[in-house]
Amino acid sequence: MPNSSTLSARLERELNRNAQLRQEIESLRRRCNEDDEMLTTLSKRLEEGTELQASLHMQTSGLQTKVDRLADKLARRDKTQKAEYERRIVAVVNERDILASKLRMAEASVERARAVEDTIKTADEKIRVAEERAQTASSQVTAVQKQLLDLKTDIAARSGQHDNVSDQEILDMMNKLNHLVQNWCVNSFRKVKIDPHRMVCRYEKIAALQEAKLLRKLYATFDTSIKIFTFQATVLYLLMPIFDTYFFGLPEELKGLDTAAWEMESLTTAFNEWRAMTYEFLRKSDNDLKKRCQVSQAKAQAQVVEQIFKTMSALTGSTISEEHEQTLSTLVEHAVSLSQVLGRQPATYRCFLPQAIDKDAIEFESTTMENLMDDQESDGITKDVRCIVSPALIKQGGERGEDMEVENVLVKAKVLCVEEDSDDDDSMD
């Protein structure tokens, strides 16, 4: 059994523990009291918050009602203002359109006024220019009349005769021209290899040949067996402008002479005398005028040479040598000399290549053409000209320019013909 001291110790410990428990209980009671007080305080605050929330809810509801009323009022006002703005916009747009229309009408009126003013100015300028031209023309007419009078006086004082050249000399010059053209083509292109299928494409690229219908046919169905004849025809076509004008290579200030010649052109003795005397005057003019004429003529000749040179180089695809280019210059110079000799004669000489009138084909005409491949067995059969190898030369009038109704064919155009039905035969083959 435990002794009394042990029991006393246990009792004392229990008493101490009980004392501690009482203290803890007292402490917990105090805390509970404090918590009750705090809970009471929080409850009061919760009640106050609830009351405040209810009050705020009532205030919010009132404010929301006011906001809704204001929103409805604002929407109605916006609708009214929008309608008013749209009405004003429509009115402004209509007013703008009316003003724009008035502005366009005003601008049109201004433009018409300016056009009338410009027309008046243009008319005044044209009148002024016409008056100046009339004065210039009058001065030129007076000068030409004086020149003609001086020329007639000079010619009468010398011999009373023109510087005539016989028909035989002219024929010799024509034959030389044809010979020069033929020789130049032979020497330049005899050894050139030609692809017939490419010729028409090359031809179409050359602007200077686009009006030559007969040449187009030749190059479209290029025949290598007559290539030299074809090239001769091409060179002659490019030479013809030398003979198609009355005064080839005049300076710019004298171009009016050629224009006047075409305006006055008629088969009259008076016109022939004027033409011959004008050539004579230009040939025997003072050094300054003669030099200007020579420079202008040399420039025109060089242009013809360059055109033939470029055209034939493009057609044949070959490079023409410097020697052949020099020969070409001699050829063109001879053509110009022949043209001037023909122009100085009292009679009218016409050097030309036959042309198609109403259709593309040129029908063979025995009075002005000679078929180089003539076949006696084909007499009576209609033939078309295939290629023109040399030009024709016709003389109208007598040695002094009289009897203009008289016409003589001095040189027939040399041509190659094809019978009318040969194309059908070829197509059947």
**How far apart are the C-alpha atoms of 403 and 347, rounded to whole Å?**
9
Q: Give mean pLDDT, residues 22-33.
A: 88
- pLDDT tens-digit map of 124-140: 888 888 778 767 766 66
Q: How confident is the model at residue 393 (pLDDT cuts 50, 70, 90)?
A: very high
φ/ψ of residue 414, rounded to 5: -85, 125
- pLDDT tens-digit map of 277-299: 888 888 877 788 888 899 999 99
pLDDT at residue 73 greater than cutoff 70: yes
**How far apart are the C-alpha atoms of 56 and 406, rounded to whole Å?**
134
Q: What is the predicted pLDDT for the residue at 428?
A: 34
**How far apart are the C-alpha atoms of 269 and 339, rounded to whole Å?**
20
Q: What is the predicted pLDDT for the residue at 310?
A: 94
**How far apart are the C-alpha atoms of 350 and 404, rounded to whole Å?**
13
Looking at residue 283, its amino acid is R
Q: What is the predicted pLDDT for the residue at 258?
A: 82
- pLDDT tens-digit map of 194-214: 999 999 999 999 999 988 888
**Looking at per-residue confidence, does 376 or 419 come out higher?**
419
Q: What percent of the chain has pLDDT over 70?
A: 87
pLDDT at residue 222 greater than cutoff 70: yes
Q: What is the predicted pLDDT for the residue at 281?
A: 83
pLDDT at residue 263 greater than cutoff 80: no
Complete edge-to-edge strand list for the sheet that includes strand 369-371: 369-371, 413-419, 383-390
Of 293, 291, 280, nearest to 252 by C-alpha is 293
Q: How confident is the model at residue 175 (pLDDT cuts 50, 70, 90)?
A: very high
